[in-house]
Amino acid sequence: MDHTTQMNFILDERVGMPVLNLLEAFLHCQLRPVFEGFDSQRAEPGRPPIR
């Protein structure tokens, strides 16, 4: 917990699920989360955490 950050994105519900899905995909590509999903789902399996 000492090395994590929480960000909240507030979207109007009128934007709908397509925009929410696109935002999530964009953030995954930009932030490259270390603990998201399974190792087999990552573009670089076994990638060490970014420090």
Q: In this predicted structure, what is the pLDDT of residue 4? A: 79
pTM reported for the whole predicted model: 0.57
Residues 15, 29: Cα–Cα separation, whole Å: 21
Q: How far is CA 36 from CA 15, 16, 27, 32, 50, in A?
A: 25, 23, 12, 9, 13
Q: Could you read off the pLDDT of 1-51 as tens digits, one per residue?
A: 687 788 899 999 999 999 999 998 898 888 877 766 665 655 565 665 555
What confidence score (pLDDT) does residue 33 get?
Answer: 74
The ranges assigned to domains in the chain are 7-34
